[in-house]
Structure 1
Amino acid sequence: MDEGKCVFAAARHGDRERLRKLLIYHSVYDKNDRGNTPLHEAAGAGMIGCVREILSMAAASGVFTEYVNTRATNGQTAVFMAADMGHLNVVKVLLTAGANINIKDKSGLTPLLAAVSNYKPAMAKALIKCGAEVHLTDASRQSCLHLASAKGLSELVSMLLYFGSLDLRNKKQKTAIYLAAENGHQECVEILANAGANVDIQAKDCSTPLMAATKAQSERCVEVLLKHGADPNVVCSILWPQLAIHAAAKLENVNILKRLAAVTTPELRSTAGQVSPVYEALENPEMLEALLAEGFSPEAQPCGDVYEVDSPLALALSCMSHDQELHYGDSMHILMRAGARLTEECWQMCLPDPTVLELLLEQRCEDKGKGPGASGLLSGVELEALRSAAVQCAEEAGSWLPALLESGLDPNALLVPDFLENVTGDTLTYLLEMVDWSTLAWPLRDVLQQRHKMKTWTPPAHLESVPPLFHLCRLRLRAHLGPDVLMRSDAVTQLPVPPLLHDHLLFADITAPGDT
């Protein structure tokens, strides 16, 4: 091995005798390819004997203190390396020799900051007692208290409280209590809160310690912060009025969600201008059910500015349709069971998508029940919303109208001029086959005549005459039972008529648009 390299090896391995002989021919100022002197190597390895030997050899130099504080390529001094590796006895020797305990390396760390970063609280305490400056910060403007709180070093945090600066902020404007909450260190949060740390102080992104603890899903930190007066109604986003409960709704800790629901402002539940956490909970059915159980409305308030929809149900249907996120179906079911109404926007989301429409109708039929006395498929408000959406989606009605009628929608509900003007010819025929076409009001007859005249629809010959008796009979039966009962129950099979008439009574002889 090259004798120059042997000097560094001897220092690193603690071979004091060999080091003494080699230093007769080589300088203690020599550096290896990492910029380390023999003192760096000995200090980092904790070889106190070699450290003393090197210091003795360097003492004859007129720049002894400068040598002790020589920086390696990474900016670290010998005392830094010794502290970083936990060699306290070496640190004390170097400090006696004039080492600067507060010199930073190229990453902005002092020996004290490095000790805390590397989970060496005992070394950190010793360095503080040796005069290390606790308020120096790293490149991210994080002090020793910041790092100790983030690491959960509660004993060190308690010690650092005597030096003040509880609410010192790092580059992201986060304080020690924020970092403790963000990492789920309940004991550190408790210590800092008891010492008077600001529990509502906001980071650069407006997030609070309570929001941070919520995102960390730390029940204990959330409880400590609330106990010390943290305000759950502080807006934690510059983009929209997001509170801690909104973050909880997207995560998986039901206990935190319930705890925040109990203290969050009541206006959040339905007041205009507020945002219900029900929207955020759609990704997690368990959290959605928990919110509804806590009294939040399944309809909530319209939030077009934030979610671009008018209800949580519309958002769930949008995700199912546009993003093919069918797992939102569970949330759709929960909302509908809880009484969420189908708005015009809901229909606009699902009518163009047969899969989503099928799931929606299946759930609605299940919710409404079966048999005589069951409630209608749609409420009056929902029916009006459907008519409005149907007009806008009229050209594609052939793909969604059969599903609605087969689920029990009264076809007469869609006999409005605007709809009849825009549906395709085969869809128009299909709809008329389901009603008594001889009793259509004059405005509707005018639409049919105009379409016939413009050759956008050619009526079958039988539609020009009075409906046959068998058709009028089944219409009467449907009117008596209700279309939703007739089309979605086993009521027909219980009628005292020949089995061959069952399909006829269910309008199975009428061809749906696109069928052959």
Structure 2
Amino acid sequence: MDFTECYQDTCSAVGLAAREGKIRQVQRLIQKGYSVDVKDNRGWNPLHEAANAGSAECVRLLLGAAENCEDYINSFTHDSETPLYLAAKNGHLRVVKWLIKGGADMNRETNDMSCPLFAAVDGGHREVVELLVRSGAEVNGTHSPSGWSCLHQAVYKGHCDIARFLASKCSLEAVDDYGITPLFVAAQYGHHKCLEILADEGANVNCQAKDLATPLLIAAQEGHLACVGVLLAHNADPNLYCNEAQWQLPIHAAAQFCRVSILERLIPVTNRECDRGEGKVSPVYLAVLSGQADSLRPLLKAGYSPDAQSCKQFGYECPLDMALWCNSWSLDNECHQTREIAQMLLSAGATVSLGMYGFALQGHVPEHLPLILEYAGLPQGDKLAELVQKALEEVHSAPYWLPLLLKAGVDPMLFLHHKMLEDADDVVLNFYLEFINWKTLPSNTLQILSRRQAEGTWIPRKHFECVPALSHLCRLAVREAVGSGIFSKTAFVQELPIPTLLQNYLQFNDIYTAHNPLPCSLLGQQI
């Protein structure tokens, strides 16, 4: 039902005149004996109408004509609103004065737990607020379903003048049902002037809500730089843990929500224990988890470790592990960001475990392996042998990883294994044999190849029937002499005093081009 208009069958003549502020008409109707206490379909009587409209003279006339002034002045609408509540809500100072003088109950609550003072605060009516407080209105009551005080509401609305007035009258540490103080509210909603007023007045800048969140944490999370500045200037503790597991700090919130300016303020004042401390969580994890490359950049620049610590809370061994896994399930529009993050971690020297190499070999995310090889290179010694073994276990993905590993400098002879010879498909096997001397293979290898040829699972290229060309034998000899790792370095080959065409030949570029087992689009990106 629409209660914004007056229905003729319920609104009294006195009520209508009071609503329109027609003082003489109200006076004439009273003199003619019209009742001043007839309610309309909202429960409003003429006094409610006059108070809501701000007609102080009508209020004075109606109070004088009431049979029982005390009951009349505190009468309720159907929403349990008193005339004083309506006047305060709309900032009608003169009406409020008349109603207080007439004995209105300043603390009577509505059905939604509000009261005249709370309504005046909410509307930003400073003079009405001051009048009500001076007249004895309760300032520390709770007037919302969540238990907010008038000071909470003043700060929430950003009414600085009212907050300044109430700060000297109200409890600064009043908490709502969530343990949140007015100062916390100021930090949460970015009202830095109100925040400064409360902090100057002595409010606790390190208060914690029931979930242990602090004003500094919430300001960092919401991106309120000015509030962060005020809090730090008033000695807010950036190292106060904000969860029961004791790892979350304001710097984590800034990293997670990409509040870069705030992050740069918090980095120099945050204890580095969170960087690699056991049981803690580096903010690097939060930047990676939320896909925030812009957050990661200042952390790494400031010296935060790209390896951090093993993170049981998130189930990852290191940030790079998290970045690679996140990349594997990211949506298309998120992939660029996660690739950039992985690249940043690798550039900063992140350690690549064999498990990461093994995951990358599967080729679920084609960018992983070339990125790792570019920035971290190949593992050394026994680790390289383990990598080769892992690769052979993923021989079905050899069209993806074989060119990349050979290009990175893995000795092709390490792949001369029965897994490669028996399980690799026809194209991959032909590609692989181009990197070795196919005429000097061991007898057991030749037996496997002969069997596959007889079964029709391998069709050798015609030139495999002949002795390799002298040029090919020469490049094999050069590779053996200097080592596959060095031989794969383009910079090394380019320093050789030979023509560019021969440099390309030494690096087997003719074979990569002619015998490419990878899809052309991927080869173009990686080789």
Contact conserved, 1:493 with 1:499, CA < 8 A, in 2? no
Give 1:200's aligned amino acid: N
> 2: distance between equivalents of 1:401 and 1:342?
19
The residue that corresponds to 2:94 in the other structure is 89
> 2: distance between equivalents of 1:276 and 1:164?
40
The residue that corresponds to 1:371 in the other structure is none
Q: Which of 200, 213, 219 is the matching residue for 1:213? A: 219
The residue that corresponds to 1:511 in the other structure is 515
The residue that corresponds to 1:34 in the other structure is 42
Contact conserved, 2:217 with 2:242, CA < 8 A, in 1? yes
Confirm or deny that 1:331 pairs with 2:326. Answer: no
Alpha carbons of 1:202 and 1:125: their partners in 2 closer, same or farther (altered >3 Å)?
same
> 2: distance between equivalents of 1:358 and 1:488?
20
The residue that corresponds to 2:250 in the other structure is 244
1:296: how far off? 0.4
Alpha carbons of 1:339 and 1:421: their partners in 2 closer, same or farther (altered >3 Å)?
farther
SS state at 2:313 partner: helix
Give 2:318's aligned amino acid: S
1:170: how far off? 0.6
SS state at 1:115 partner: helix
> 2: distance between equivalents of 1:179 and 1:159?
17
Matching of residues 190-339 of structure 1 within 5 Å: 190-238=196-244, 241-282=247-288, 283-303=291-311, 305-324=312-331, 325-326=334-335, 327-339=337-349
Give 1:266's aligned amino acid: R
Deviation string 1:78-108 (CA, Å, 9 cap, x unpaired) is: 1001001001110111122221111112221
Alpha carbons of 1:508 and 1:422: their partners in 2 closer, same or farther (altered >3 Å)?
closer
> 1: distance between equivalents of 2:191 and 2:154?
10
Deviation string 1:28-48 (CA, Å, 9 cap, x unpaired) is: 222223221111111011011
Contact conserved, 2:89 with 2:119, CA < 8 A, in 1? yes
Matching of residues 396-475 of structure 1 within 5 Å: 396-412=397-413, 414=415, 426-428=427-429, 430-436=431-437, 458=458, 460=460, 469-475=470-476
The residue that corresponds to 2:174 in the other structure is 168
> 1: distance between equivalents of 2:111 and 2:338?
50
Matching of residues 97-108 of structure 1 within 5 Å: 97-108=102-113
Alpha carbons of 1:313 and 1:149: their partners in 2 closer, same or farther (altered >3 Å)?
same
1:321: how far off? 2.4
> 1: distance between equivalents of 2:29 and 2:454?
109
Q: Which of 350, 357, 363 is the matching residue for 1:340? A: 350
What stretches of structure 2 of length at least 5 have no aligned partner? 1-6, 521-527
1:133: how far off? 0.5
> 2: distance between equivalents of 1:468 and 1:147?
87
The residue that corresponds to 2:56 in the other structure is 48
Alpha carbons of 1:187 and 1:2: their partners in 2 closer, same or farther (altered >3 Å)?
closer
The residue that corresponds to 2:20 in the other structure is 13
Alpha carbons of 1:513 and 1:222: their partners in 2 closer, same or farther (altered >3 Å)?
same
Q: Which of 65, 70, 75 is the matching residue for 2:70? A: 65
> 1: distance between equivalents of 2:228 and 2:367?
42
The residue that corresponds to 1:373 in the other structure is none
> 1: distance between equivalents of 2:201 and 2:140?
17
The alignment-based identity, stated in percent, is 36
Give 2:103's aligned amino acid: G
1:160: how far off? 3.0
Moved more, 334-343 or 39-48: 334-343
Confirm or deny that 1:357 pairs with 2:366. Answer: yes
Q: CA-atom RMSD, angstroms?
A: 3.8
> 2: distance between equivalents of 1:402 and 1:95?
88
SS state at 1:199 partner: coil
Give 1:135's aligned amino acid: N
Alpha carbons of 1:239 and 1:498: their partners in 2 closer, same or farther (altered >3 Å)?
closer
The residue that corresponds to 1:159 in the other structure is 165
Give 2:49's aligned amino acid: E
Give 1:511's aligned amino acid: H
Contact conserved, 1:436 with 1:472, CA < 8 A, in 2? yes
Contact conserved, 1:493 with 1:502, CA < 8 A, in 2? no
Q: Under a length normalisation based on structure 2, what TM-score does the superposition of the two structures give? A: 0.81
> 2: distance between equivalents of 1:447 and 1:170?
81
Q: Which of 125, 128, 139 is the matching residue for 2:145? A: 139
The residue that corresponds to 1:116 in the other structure is 121
Give 1:95's aligned amino acid: I
Deviation string 1:1-29 (CA, Å, 9 cap, x unpaired) is: 94845433311111122223445464322
Deviation string 1:200-220 (CA, Å, 9 cap, x unpaired) is: 222133211110121232334
1:459: how far off? 7.9
Q: Under a length normalisation based on structure 1, what TM-score does the superposition of the two structures give? A: 0.83
Alpha carbons of 1:387 and 1:160: their partners in 2 closer, same or farther (altered >3 Å)?
farther
SS state at 1:210 partner: helix
Q: Which of 168, 180, 184 is the matching residue for 1:178? A: 184
What stretches of structure 1 of length at least 5 have no aligned partner? 369-376
> 1: distance between equivalents of 2:413 and 2:63?
101
> 2: distance between equivalents of 1:234 and 1:416?
57
SS state at 1:508 partner: helix
SS state at 2:403 partner: helix
Moved more, 112-121 or 226-235: 226-235
> 2: distance between equivalents of 1:27 and 1:175?
47
> 2: distance between equivalents of 1:164 and 1:472?
91
Moved more, 210-219 or 404-413: 404-413
SS state at 1:306 partner: coil
